Amino acid sequence: MSERSTSGLRERKKARTRALIQREALRLFREQGYAATTVEQIAEAAEVAPSTVFRYFPTKEDLVLMDHFPPFVAALRAAPPELGPVEAVRAAMRETLAAQTPEEIAEGFEREKLMLTVPELWAASLRGVTGVVAALEEIFAERAGRRRGDPEIRNVTGAIMGVILAMWFDWVKDPSMDAPAELDHALAHLQAGLPLT
């Protein structure tokens, strides 16, 4: 077996282990509550050592935080240059969500619900949202040929994030919502200038 195929196999095994640990953690958080679940219980459920859990997730909060952001960033960077910021985000969201299985979307919902309903996760969630805002500002500035601190770039980023967060809060309150469709509809409304019809 070549070094490249061995490396690829090793990376796939790591990805499977990471996904299993997170899946078991989310199941236990749902069944027992976040605070009542220990890393030792998560490790036992995933049939790994506690040290393995910490290798993939340095803190308990990391088990909940978003981990599908890199594919979205890549899709947004690759969006056709003629698309405006909102249209580019819509295209990137569609591409990212289309690549996810229904199980991955459901797990994403579980993580987001925990982030919004568990007080211990609020600070970590805010750090994550702050990172998303910074990344979006950087990408939008690059796409527009402007500097990152440009007030118009800040305003566009804030408007997009506001729509996403508002939809996110509604999804947590109503899990039956078709979140991908609602998010696209909400961003289309923003793209149209937020008319009140």
Domain residues of the chain, as ranges? 3-58, 64-191
Q: Is the pLDDT of residue 37 over 90?
A: yes
Neighbours of 32 (CB within 10 A): 12
pLDDT tens, residue by residue, 150-162: 999 999 999 999 9
- Please say if the pLDDT value at position 68 is more than 60: no
What pLDDT is attached to residue 4? 61
Please provide the CATH number assigned to the domain covering 64-191: 1.10.357.10
Tell me the pLDDT band of 11, cut-offs 50, 70 and 90.
Answer: confident
d(CA 125, CA 64): 9
Segment 76-80 mean pLDDT? 94
Contact 143, 157 (CB under 8 A): no
CA distances, 53 to each of 20, 45, 105 (Å): 10, 11, 22
0.85 cut: is pTM over it? no
What fold does the segment set 3-58 form as a domain?
A: Arc Repressor Mutant, subunit A (1.10.10)
